[in-house]
Amino acid sequence: MIRFNRILLKLSGEALMGDMQYGIDPERLADYANEIKLAFDKGVQIAIVIGGGNIYRGLSGASQGMDRVQGDYMGMLATVINSMAIQGALEKIGIGTKLLGGLEIDPIAERMSRKRANEYMNEGKIVIISGGTGNPFFTTDTASALRAIEIEADVILKGTRVDGVYDKDPEKHTDAIKYSELSFKEAYEKKLAIMDLTSFTLCEENNMPIYVFDMNKKGELLKVVDGEDVGTIVS
């Protein structure tokens, strides 16, 4: 029995860099596609939102004097590039996909709608949702929260490079303590940087749990959907 029937998988754009300084590492991309296939083959319905930080960040541009709105739209286009990359990697290993977007880009991405996403997932396709919310001033964390709520996902699976949520950065502190579960209130009071405040509030108000796990560890995504306690769940 699988733990989650429908998931929204949130991936960071930076993770696609692998050991590179920018761009997309083909090996990391293939690894992610294979990990997603393991969960998909279990019968899990999957939607994916991926960031664009390996290519461009709107906030970074704004900090260097670029117009924030223009920069955010450039960041949205970066997520489209990453979404196309993960789409290609999944289809290469035989998985049907549909690319939707907060921005409609003919002939690449159809406009995101709850009805379209549900229809495609019910047809047995993985739905990749690019372009953030389609609006400036919102992160892909917020987009993932919004899309998860729209499609009535069971959970947001936030794939990171650490195996859960800790009381402090485990990459800097050897005595960091890992949490197996947290309430939204506890996470907020402890000031744990799980997602930005807008997305976190959206999840809390709509009872959308967030499961943080290590996407770079082989087999971990499958363990999560199988119900093994390998990460941290916030609910």
pTM, to two decimals: 0.94
Q: State residue 151's pLDDT score.
A: 97
Cα of 155 vs its chain's centroid, Å: 11
The H-or-E segment that residue 114 falls in is helix 114-122
Give the mean model confidence (pLDDT) for residues 91-117.
95
Which of 207, 214, 226 lies closest to 155, judged by CA? Answer: 207
Q: Could you give the CA distance from residue 75 to residue 83 in angstroms, rounded to a whole number?
A: 12
Look at residue 137 and tell me if it is in a domain.
Answer: yes
Give the mean model confidence (pLDDT) for residues 98-111.
94
pLDDT tens across 124-179, in order? 999 999 999 999 999 999 999 999 999 999 999 999 888 999 998 888 888 999 99
pLDDT tens across 45-92, in order? 999 999 998 988 666 666 677 788 988 999 999 999 999 999 999 999
- Residue 213 β-bridge partners: 159
Look at residue 210 and tell me if it is in a domain.
Answer: yes
With the CA atoms of 54, 134, 150 and 36 taken in that order, what torsion angle do they form, in degrees rounded to the nearest 10?
Answer: -20
Q: State residue 59's pLDDT score.
A: 61
Q: State residue 60's pLDDT score.
A: 67
Look at residue 1 and tell me if it is in a domain.
Answer: no
CATH of the domain at 95: 3.40.1160.10
For 153, counting Cβ atoms within 10 Å of its Cβ (0-12 exposed, 13-18 middle, 19+ buried), the class is buried
Look at residue 149 and tell me if it is in a domain.
Answer: yes
pLDDT tens across 7-46, in order? 999 999 888 888 888 889 999 999 999 999 999 999 999 9
Domain housing 26 = 6-234
Look at residue 68 and tell me if it is in a domain.
Answer: yes
Look at residue 45 and tell me if it is in a domain.
Answer: yes
Domain count, the chain: 1
- Residue 129 β-bridge partners: 100
